[in-house]
Structures are given as structure tokens and as C-alpha cells.
A and B are shown apart, each in its own frame.
Chain A
């Protein structure tokens, strides 16, 4: 129903360029579609329109119509006459109507932009050399585009608080604030934690948190992202790195099955921050604060960097892989415990290895907690659906591996391959662990790695390529941001190396793994790693997977399937 309406496009003109947009489109977006940037501060595509910065003022014209007949009025050459409105209008509060025209570069528009810019700079401190926003600051950018280059302001600038801690993660510099109210609207409309507001008036207007409260919700750092200037900065990133030095890599957040699209910023192999990447189907432009912390796991103290065989660290990872494979050969009763945090490719190879080794039991460790209804879902594994599609598991995972416990107690299992999962955290007792030989592949030390015969160091999500399938069954890829810290091995190589010991030769290259997956797994037919678009690819899972009772509740851009709907 709505789709039909969407198809009806109307023609609008931006600087005489013709654009076809759906009716009601914001004129800033319409101009963007025409490849023209209307400068703006307060407008944000995912927030309500405030219209207070006045930076997007343009000249506005409507097609002239005969008042009596309603017919378009034409000039001598037969072209539509345009009535230009003498006063400028803000583009952000102007909606596309048939034939509407805006001029963004006319003398009037230009003088508006320059005037607004000059007023914004009146009280703005010349902080750029010490400001974290420098390099990604809209004020800086538009000052070069629309500023006069020198200041006519001879009076003293306002003095306001420079270092207000709004919350545990957000620092406010009130002098830099241009009062766009994006952060205020974000807290009201998205985070539902209305604590920010403006007090006092005129040029003394000051952004503040309600006295006695803090900006401490788990989405507070989004205010830093959307702040067009350096007023709000992240306490974690503040003064650490210049943005222009940062290399940006597209990644996916592993916090939950939402699969938030992210940008990982790194320099010389060190990650400095994680910020959200816009995906209108998944996370809009937002991300939880907790997900931004995850890069710290790369350099965590308990990171596994070397292979361990019989409690001795070794540089010979190849040898350790051989040792591990040897433990799986012969008359062994093996269980494979995979992870919902592994990529689709790893789960596929892990399943292949489990088949080769004749695993009696394969399991996945479930992680279900309460979702926040926004961007953290109940399933805290980013890729349970990947394990389902690759056939590593056939049912939704449990938090406790009770089947494995029983099997160990009954001595039906004597060897366990644990892939990045701590068995003791999954309910396997110390006595039970003592009864089995453990091979551990993982990124960090834990109880299980401490008891393993062979430990193989793996890569974190930031150190490899791969893909996850999120709660919408959207296949999303992440790319390697930094070189792997663990001894020269990445997960696919470890798995391919073990498979080679069983005489199965597979290429660990991601394209080759995908070539095999697209051949053998129906859901992945015709898909290759390079073919996954940056906004993800919606998969069509087989019906028995669609009918599973997934733990996720509703969240941004996700509604769980209804009971009845899943039957039909």
C-alpha cells in the first residue's frame, strides 16, 4: 500500500538541477540527491526538525498558477513561470512539492549562509588546534566554505564552562556549543532519557544536564557523534588522536544479534575508537556505548597471543595445529563446542572439521539476556543464525551445555574442541573438565584455555574479515581493521590447517570459503564475500529456521515474527 505511494515521484529543482523525489522529502535530502550540499547544523536525518541554526537558508520558488483556473502560468517561451519568494526559507523545514525550486548558491542564499556563519563564529572560541572535533567539524568545514576568513568582531567573546562532565562518557565544552539542540533531541526522541536542555538565554544560553542528573544512558556517546562541533567529546577518545590520522574500516558490532554497522578507526595497528555507520535498515545512525568499548579486548591483558601445547608456549603454531589434529584422530569420542561469536565462514569450517573428526556432539553456547528494545537485542551472540544456516547447530543454543555435561558424566565424550567459548562459564564443572582432553581455539585466556592440552590463538573481529547474520537474517560483512596480534594465524587458517591434517584440503581464503558455501548451502546460493553490499544482504532462510522461537524481542527496525504468522 505504502509502496505504491513511494513509487510516485515528483520533480523538484535544486539550483536548476532536476531531481525526482518522493513527495514530502526534506529539501536538504532532495538537494543531496542532486549532489548539492545545503549547509546545515541542527538538521539531522534521524531526528525531528528543529530549524534553529538557520544555516540551511535558501531561496524558495513555487510554480506560478492561475488563481482562477489553477492552470500553470507559462512565460513567452512556454516555460513554467516561477514565483520566487522574496525572503529566504530554511531548507530543512521545506518539504518537496511538485515543481518546487530552491536556489542554494544565489546572492541571497549566499549572503544568508555567510551571515549565519559569521554570527555562529562570534562567540565560538578559536580552539581548533586543541579541539578533538577539528578535522571532522562542520563549523570548521562551513567556515572555510562560507566564512569571511577574518573576524569583524572586536568585543570580548562569551566565557562559559569549558569542562563539564555531562556523564561518565561525555564531556561538554559550552563555549564551543552552537545550540543546534541535536543532542537534546536525541535524548528526547531516541534514547528516551530527557536530561539535557538549554538554560539562560540569548548569547548566554548554555547546554546543561538537569542538576543532580547525568547523561549516563547507554546511548550517550551518540550525542558526541551528532554534535556538529567539538562541544560534546568522548572522554575515552578525547585528546587521544587526530581524526585525520585515522584509518576507517567498516565493521559489525558483536554486542548482540542486532549487528550494528560500525566504523573502526585505527592508526598504525591500534584501534582508537568505534563509531556507528549509517544503515537505515539496521541501526540508523546510532550505536550503544557498550559496543564502542569492545575494541579494548584486542589489547586486553588476558589476550592469547601464542600457541600452547601441554602448558608450554610455542612459536610453532603449525606444530600445535598438528598436535591438536592428532588428538582428534583415532578412537576418540569428541564434542565440538562452537561459538555464536564466530563468523559464518568460521562456523562453516568448524562444522566441516567436526564432520571430519566424527564429532558425536556439536553445540553452541547461547547468550540470552534482556534486550533494551533499541540496539541491543536479547541474543547477545552476533551470529547464532550463521551457525543455523551453516548447519553447525539445528536448534537454538542453550546457555548451559547440559547435553555435554551428561555425555561427559556418562563417559560418552572424552575430547572437547572449544571454539572461543569458556566451557566452565557454560556450566561444565571442574571435575567434568578434568575428565576430558580439551583443545581450545580462542582469543583470550580463560578457565578452559588453562586446562587445554592444545591452545591455538585466534583473532578478534577487528583482526580478520568475515560475516555475521543478524536477527533479521541480514548477512553483513566486517573487514580487517588492524593486523592480527596473535602469532601469524587467523581463525580460518587454523581450521583449514586442522582440516588438512585430516586430508581435506580447503583454501582459507575468504572468497574460496564463500565459493564452497554458495555451492553447498542453499541459502547462500550465488553469494560471494565480495558481493555482500556494505549495508548487508537480506537472506531467505529455509522455513524450519524461520519457525524457530528466537529470543529477540522488538528493537529498532526489527519486529519478532508473530506466533500465528510463523505457522502459516
Chain B
């Protein structure tokens, strides 16, 4: 099986560790998707086919999952992923405006990347912090009470390449 994605050594190792944990190989498909996405940033068509072959599935079976779960991506994303909550509390508190501000700041379409490919802005469903609405997640960091002003500040930090706290490398 040719690895056209140049997965990192650690990822391959983790993949080989995780598969035998399940009584049936196919059950490992979600952990594998997460590992590949962590490694690659998204699950490409090649990755889908690679995983399918690895687990004795057909590519469509894996593709259905990739497209079903919002946290799995089938397209490349920027280095920074900005997710704006749009579920009820946040929406009422003005998250659409927040989102528009962020998109304007990075000059990107909804669910799209900034022209340099560095940042992605997208809506997310409930981020489970309704009492501090509207909320935004930049990669793994939660930002609360993000009004337009705060949104501009966050955008500025990202554009200036502020070191990010926590999250995966």
C-alpha cells in the first residue's frame, strides 16, 4: 500500500497501534480519520482511499463518514481555523456580525480560506459556552464574549502571528 500522503512516522505508528484495539478492523475508521486529519490538516481523497484499503473497506464507506461529521474536513484549511458559533445563544448575541468582521479581516469567504491560505473562517454549531456568547474558537482556544471589537483584536493577533497558546503543533 503506497503512502502518497507522506504521513509522519508517529502518525503511522499510532495508526498501527489503534487498529488492533478493535475486534473488527473497520471499527478503527474514526480514530484513523482523526489521526490522518491531525497529521494532514484535512482528509484528502487519497487519504480516504488509503484508510479504506487499510481497513478492508470501500472508499465510499469512509467518504460517507468524512462528509457526515463536521469536524472531519475534506478540503485543506488554513494554519489557523477560526470557528464562530452560530447556535441560538450566540446567534442572538450577534455571532453573525462577529463572523462577518472576522471574514472581512482575513478577506475570506464563509467556509473559505484567506487569499494566502493561512486562515479559515467557518461557522460551528454549539461550542458549549452559551453563557459567554458569542464565542469563537481559534484552533483549540476558546474566546468568549467576542463582539465586533474583540473580533478585530483576535484577527489582529492572528495576522501578527501571535504565538498561540496550547493546541496541537
Contact = CB atoms under 8 A, between A and B. Distances in A.
Contacts of B59: 210, 213
A210 B68 contact: no
Nearest to A201: B68
A194 B64 contact: no
Interface in B41-71: 45, 58-61, 63-64, 67-68
Contacts of B68: 198-201
B28 to A, nearest CB: 19
Contacts of B63: 197, 199, 210-211
A197 B63 CA distance: 8
16 contacts: A194-B61, A195-B60, A197-B60, A197-B61, A197-B63, A197-B64, A198-B64, A199-B64, A199-B67, A199-B68, A210-B58, A210-B59, A210-B60, A211-B63, A213-B59, A213-B60
Interface in A195-210: 195-201, 209-210
Q: Which of B45, B60, B64, B67 has the most CB of A within 10 A?
A: B60
B67 to A, nearest CB: 4
A211 B58 contact: no
A212 interface: yes
Contacts of A199: 63-64, 67-68
- The interface residues of chain B, by DSSP majority, are classed as helix
A194 B64 CA distance: 12
A379 B64 CA distance: 39
User: Of residues A194, A199, A210, which shows the largest number of chain B Cβ atoms within 10 Å of its Cβ?
Assistant: A210
A220 B77 CA distance: 36
Given A196-B60, A210-B60, A211-B45, 16 more contacts: A194-B60, A194-B61, A195-B58, A197-B60, A197-B63, A197-B64, A198-B68, A199-B63, A199-B67, A199-B68, A200-B67, A200-B68, A210-B59, A210-B63, A213-B59, A213-B60
Contacts of A209: 60
A196 B59 CA distance: 10
A202 B45 CA distance: 23
Contacts of B67: 199-200
Contacts of B60: 194-197, 209-210, 213
Interface of B: 45, 58-61, 63-64, 67-68
A198 B69 CA distance: 12
Contacts of A195: 58, 60
A209 to B, nearest CB: 8
A213 B59 CA distance: 10
Contacts of B58: 194-195, 210
Contacts of B61: 194, 197
Interface in A522-546: none
- Most B Cβ at <10 Å: residue of A198, A199, A200: A199
Interface in A169-196: 194-196
Nearest to B64: A197
B162 to A, nearest CB: 35
A150 B67 CA distance: 34
B49 to A, nearest CB: 9
Contacts of A210: 58-60, 63
B50 to A, nearest CB: 14
A209 B63 CA distance: 10
Task: List the 7 closest A-B pairs by CB distance, nearest first.
Answer: A199-B67, A194-B58, A210-B60, A197-B60, A197-B64, A210-B59, A201-B68
A308 B60 CA distance: 56
A210 B61 CA distance: 9
A436 B53 CA distance: 60
Nearest to A193: B58
Nearest to B68: A201
Contacts of A213: 59-60
Interface in A267-305: none
Nearest to B70: A201
A195 B60 CA distance: 6
B61 to A, nearest CB: 7
Nearest to A206: B67
A200 B64 CA distance: 8
Nearest to A198: B64
Nearest to A194: B58
Contacts of A212: 45
B14 to A, nearest CB: 26
Nearest to A210: B60
A210 B59 CA distance: 7
A441 B58 CA distance: 50
A198 B61 CA distance: 9
Contacts of A200: 67-68
A212 B58 CA distance: 13
A391 B59 CA distance: 53
Interface string A418-452: 00000000000000000000000000000000000
A292 B126 CA distance: 51
A201 B71 CA distance: 13
A200 B67 CA distance: 5
A289 B132 CA distance: 60
Contacts of B64: 197-199
A211 B58 CA distance: 12
A201 B67 CA distance: 8
A6 to B, nearest CB: 33
Which of B45, B59, B61, B64 has most chain A Cβ within 10 Å?
Answer: B64
A197 B52 CA distance: 14
